[in-house]
Structure 1
């Protein structure tokens, strides 16, 4: 069964059509690149997939559940447990340590998860993204690439099944970007899917499938 299934998705604001006729099927453990010019609606499409916005029309199923028909509370629960969202400029709290910033998703949990499990997860991801030795440093002392990795780990800390990444390497040098892509690629072994919006041909080439977003739909690029 497809993990992500978009059928004839359209998004309009007043009398402006951002895009329409969007069809996309994503199987578990696949990396998908969505390319497109600035203003083509890449961020809007990712927000729909992440459950942050609803489409104007069309259907979106995540693991068989119709996301386009869910109320805000249910969408929030799904985002909390199934979806990891990564932005180009990861918001952080400068006076807190890297570890404290990573732990932000647990601040509003009524029921805390097992602290030993969380600790192991932080250690595993810290080593995977090569910042385990910086976890107790304040983020204001970290480089841009290190801060971006803090944001990525924060998005992954709850073991999401789907990662939605909006230009996650846009502000990084090529070497750091490739390291992050390699780390995300390792997550596919556990069936995690990754959907990335990007301007970078280098990033797109590392993905399993590549699409061009136009106002008339998604065009799949020939491999």
Structure 2
């Protein structure tokens, strides 16, 4: 059974069809790139996958749960338990340190996880993303690439099954973008599935499957060696 299964997903906005007939199956530990021209609805599709928006029609199954039948409050609960989300410009609180920004999602948890487990996970991820030496620096002192990596770690702090990333390397130089991509690929070993919206050929090259979004649905591209 795939972790993510979209079947005949359609989205309308103000009476106009954004896209329709979107079908996608994503296995555990798989990275997917979604390409498409500006304005075609990539961010909207990712918002649906991340549980931030509802579909107009169609079915969305995530890890055995039917998200298409849920209200926004139920979607929020699933998002907290199973989904990490990365935007192109990860919002941060400037006066807090990198570490403090990473743990922001835990502020809203009624039941806190064991602090030793959280500390260990932050240590592992910060080494993986090469910012372990920056955890106690104020976020306003970090570069754009470093802030983006803080945002990725924050999205992973609760060990999501699915990571949704909207142009995660769009504001980065090629070297920093490559570091981020290599780190995202490392997550596959832990079974995390990743769906990325991107314009970048380099990003697509590092994914297992690449799709082009059109108004009529997703078209799978053939990966070249």
Q: Does residue 113 of structure 2 align to residue 113 of structure 1?
A: yes
Shift of 1:150: 0.6
Shift of 1:108: 1.1
Match of 2:184 in 1: 184
Match of 1:31 in 2: 31
Match of 1:89 in 2: 89
Q: Which runs of 5+ in 2 are unaligned?
A: none
Aligned in 2, Cα 1:53/1:103: closer, same or farther, shift over 3 Å? same
Shift of 1:190: 1.2
Secondary structure of 2:5's match?
strand
Distance (whole Å) between structure 1 residues aligned to residue 185 and residue 136 of structure 2: 26
Secondary structure of 1:107's match?
helix
Please list the CA deviations of residues 123-160 of structure 1 after superposition, one character each: whole Å capped at 9, or x if unmatched: 00000000000000001000000000111100001111
Distance (whole Å) between structure 2 residues aligned to residue 54 and residue 108 of structure 1: 23
Alignment of 1:1-223 (within 5 A): 1-223=1-223
Distance (whole Å) between structure 2 residues aligned to residue 22 and residue 95 of structure 1: 42
TM-score normalised by length of structure 2 = 0.98
TM-score normalised by length of structure 1 = 0.99
Distance (whole Å) between structure 2 residues aligned to residue 138 and residue 29 of structure 1: 33
Secondary structure of 2:108's match?
coil
Q: Which runs of 5+ in 1 are unaligned?
A: none
Q: CA RMSD in A?
A: 0.7
Shift of 1:111: 1.3
Distance (whole Å) between structure 2 residues aligned to residue 37 and residue 96 of structure 1: 36
Distance (whole Å) between structure 2 residues aligned to residue 88 and residue 158 of structure 1: 20
Count, aligned residues:
223
Please say which of residues 145-154 and 68-77 is displaced more in the overlay: 68-77
Distance (whole Å) between structure 2 residues aligned to residue 157 and residue 47 of structure 1: 20
Shift of 1:188: 0.4
Distance (whole Å) between structure 1 residues aligned to residue 208 and residue 59 of structure 2: 24
